[in-house]
Amino acid sequence: MPSSARLTDGVLVAVALAWGSTYLATKELVPSASFAPVLVAARMAVAVALLGVWLVLRRGRGRGTADELRGGVVLGLLLAAVFACETYGVAMTSATNAGVLISLTMILTPLAEGLVRRRAPGRAFLGAAALAVAGAVLLATEGHLVRPRPGDLLVLAAAVLRAGHVTTMGVLQDRRPLDVRRLTAVQLATVAVVFAVLTAAVRAPVGAFVAQLGGGRWAVLAYLAVVCTVFGFAAQTWAIQRSSPSHVGLLLGTEPVWAALVGLVVARDRIGPVGAVGIVVTLAAVSLARRQPRVTVTRTVEPAGATGTAVPATSTPSTASEATPWDTCEGLRTSMR
């Protein structure tokens, strides 16, 4: 496997690990899942504020495009729907059912991409993805299925929307590689606006929530905003420019595995033998899927000022898209000094 592919996979695993840790971090900040919308609004507001400061400081590096604005709003609305369904769905079902249903993104994403691009995913890849889901089911259930609950439909909708979000991002990148930083900023700003309206509607003021946070809990909120939000979604956009939605969805779908391992190491949670087998099966299946030939997507760009037909792009992304998610976090760290 080329070193660039290993780097992309390594970044995606880091994101899945960070997102897996959000479950434990959320428990530190909110007393129950019903308070999670306020946390999402606060997390997005902090992330957007930091990104906004950084983009202002780098205003000489190019201006945003209409494609980035439109694409960011579309992706942000999809992402807001994902957060809303997950937030309320988890509050209305068991952690077991939620873990099983969210893991379905590993197989829903290649199916969604195949439907949109009218190209069926490889059987070997689909088989490995299905095996990874089976491992996640073993991990979440410990071999004991839990009866369906009302929130299951919401969590299932979140899994479908996650697959749609990643696939849409890939489709938007097909015509022209979009700037990682600006696209992430618009996307997260859209989520922040949606959740600000949502929390205002249910009379759960974000300001009051943030004001009551102590020093240690502020550090947790900063971790959620910078690592799990800014880095996580910038990395997702960056990786899709170099891979495919199916591959990105597969690796990010391992989030329940990392959530369990974080809980084991940090919170001293217990994992039974069946769950341990599930972890091994999921990681082995993902490793197998990674070895399958990657889908090559031909991306096109429109030359500056052109009005005719788009021309094929080279395999090298445009200068605007060369920034890595590590650059984003480094820039934020510098601007916070």
80 touches 195 (CB < 8 A)? yes
Which string of DSSP letters, residue by residue, matches 284-313?
A: HHHHHHHTSPPPPP--EEPPTT--S--EEP
Each domain of the chain, given as residue ranges in start order, spans 3-295
Residue 12 or 140, more confident? 12
Q: Quote the pLDDT of residue 189.
A: 95
Q: Quote the pLDDT of residue 303.
A: 39
Residue 147 or 169, more confident? 169
Residue 301 has pLDDT above 50, yes or no: no
Residue 33 has pLDDT above 70, yes or no: no
Residue 143 or 16, more confident? 16
**Taking the CB of residue 293, how many other CB atoms lie within 10 A of it?**
8
For residue range 264-284, list pLDDT tens digits in order: 888 888 889 999 999 999 999
Residue 306 has pLDDT above 60, yes or no: no
pLDDT band at 88 (very low <50, low <70, confident <90, very high): confident
Residue 315 has pLDDT above 50, yes or no: no
Residue 316 has pLDDT above 50, yes or no: no
Q: Quote the pLDDT of residue 112.
A: 94
Residue 40 has pLDDT above 60, yes or no: yes
Q: Quote the pLDDT of residue 119.
A: 85
Mean pLDDT of the chain: 83
Compute the distance between CA of residue 39 and CA of residue 41 in angstroms, rounded to an integer: 5
Distances 248 to 8, 12, 218, 235 between C-alpha atoms, Å: 9, 7, 31, 10
Residue owning tokens 């979140």:
158
For residue range 154-207, list pLDDT tens digits in order: 999 999 999 999 999 999 988 777 888 889 999 999 999 999 998 888 787 788
pLDDT band at 118 (very low <50, low <70, confident <90, very high): confident
Compute the distance between CA of residue 168 and CA of residue 248 in angstroms, rounded to an integer: 12
For residue 43, give the nearest of 64, 54, 55, 28 by alpha carbon: 28
Q: Quote the pLDDT of residue 294.
A: 60
Q: Quote the pLDDT of residue 19.
A: 93
Q: Quote the pLDDT of residue 80.
A: 97
The letter for the amino acid at 265 is V
Residue 151 has pLDDT above 60, yes or no: yes
Lowest-confidence range among 93-102, 222-231, 278-287? Answer: 93-102
